Amino acid sequence: MSSNRRFLLVKRPNGDPRPDDFKLVSTPIPEPDKGSFVIRNHYISLDPAQRGWMDDAPSYLPPIPLGDAVRATTVGRVHSSANPDFTPGDWVVGLNAVEDYSVVAPGGFTNRIDISHVPSPSYFLSAMGAVGLTAYFGLLDKAKPQSGETVLVSGAAGAVGSMVGQIAKIKGCRTVGIAGGAAKCKRLIIDYRYDVAIDYQGKTMEALAAAIAKAAPDGVNIIFENVGGDILDAGLMSLAPSARIVLCGLIGEYNSAHGKVGARNIWQLIVKRATMHGFLISDYVSRFAEGATQIGQWISQGQLRIDEHIVDGIENAYPAFMMLFSGKNAGKLILKIT
């Protein structure tokens, strides 16, 4: 690799991102300034959160500047370093961008990782990364599931949802997963041990609410919400008293250019004295090691199945990213660049 290919955001998407919102360019490989270092990226995480960063709207991170590479969590190796704490060859994970080489300024959010105990360095973007830790802390710390409770997960076959369902089973809960299509629903049962799988495709909000009510006759104690819109509205109709809702993502709403569906059934929060918690994994940085250790144990004990969907080549960044919204990926979506 003699140049640095960079996947730039050149226009702010209106609704669904389009190919001409982005531009792949080749630039010289950067050199580290004093205190900084340069990473050669190998695995790039593609996540729904990136869609939010593309909008010019108030969020927990500033919008991606137009003309800059699309912000992403990456795993790679230190290529060159002017930082005494990082040596060429070190494996690291950090918030960088969709590009071959990233410069990490002094104080940047990048950590060295030990890849000797994982099947692939990409696990630091899935099981041990933000995805796995989101499932772990979002479910266990925010919703505090008790054995015997019913947990409803939307986006249940997705990277986060598939782990939430499995962790809920480990904790003795009954799990109901919502996903799109028969193939995914089959995976919910076989791969992720959900007790009930509900296919949302072709269902009105009312029909989906009826399916959830049937699957959870005593009500849903916990909703782990990744989708929003009709799917959240349907779940709200089956809350058990004192239910907890972890609002992790709203992928069904992110690309809406014509107004969001919104949550029209939040009156059920009053009726059931339920609580909805907005969740962001960045609040748990100080506990990442605790979560990653437990997740690693469950994997090694065969209790937790991790699926990754690896797409090769930075030139496929756009179609790969769009799989998140069509739901075509099977497992944590990762772009591999070599």
Residues binding its own copies (CB under 8 A) = 52, 58-60, 228, 233, 237, 247-250, 253, 259-280, 283
Tokens read off for 330: 């099977």
Q: Is 138 exposed, middle or buried (0-12, 13-18, 19+ CB in 10 A)?
A: buried
- CB-nearer residue toward its own copies: 1 or 207: 207
The least CB distance from residue 112 to its own copies, in Å, is: 28
- CB-nearer residue toward its own copies: 24 or 95: 95
- CB-nearer residue toward its own copies: 99 or 233: 233
The least CB distance from residue 52 to its own copies, in Å, is: 8
Q: Coil, helix or strand for 41?
A: strand
- CB-nearer residue toward its own copies: 216 or 314: 216
Q: How far apart, in whole angstroms, are the C-alpha atoms of residue 252 and residue 82?
A: 43
The least CB distance from residue 185 to its own copies, in Å, is: 27
Q: Which of 67, 74, 71 is nearest to 23 (CA)?
A: 67
Q: Are 141 and 164 in contact (CB under 8 A)?
A: no
The least CB distance from residue 308 to its own copies, in Å, is: 24
Q: What are the residues whose beta carbons fall under 8 Å from the beta carbon of 196, sequence distance 6 or more?
A: 175, 176, 177, 215
The least CB distance from residue 250 to its own copies, in Å, is: 5
Tokens read off for 149: 């409770």
- CB-nearer residue toward its own copies: 220 or 311: 220
- CB-nearer residue toward its own copies: 262 or 327: 262
State the number of CA atoms in the 13 A half-sphere of 170 facing the CB: 21
The least CB distance from residue 233 to its own copies, in Å, is: 8
Q: Are 21 and 322 in contact (CB under 8 A)?
A: no
The least CB distance from residue 95 to its own copies, in Å, is: 17
The least CB distance from residue 290 to its own copies, in Å, is: 19
Rg from Cα positions in the chain = 20
Q: How far apart, in whole angstroms, are the C-alpha atoms of residue 80 and residue 191?
A: 41
- CB-nearer residue toward its own copies: 34 or 57: 57
- CB-nearer residue toward its own copies: 64 or 197: 64
Q: Is 63 exposed, middle or buried (0-12, 13-18, 19+ CB in 10 A)?
A: middle
Q: How far apart, in whole angstroms, are the C-alpha atoms of residue 233 and residue 205?
A: 7
Residue with tokens 């690693």: 296
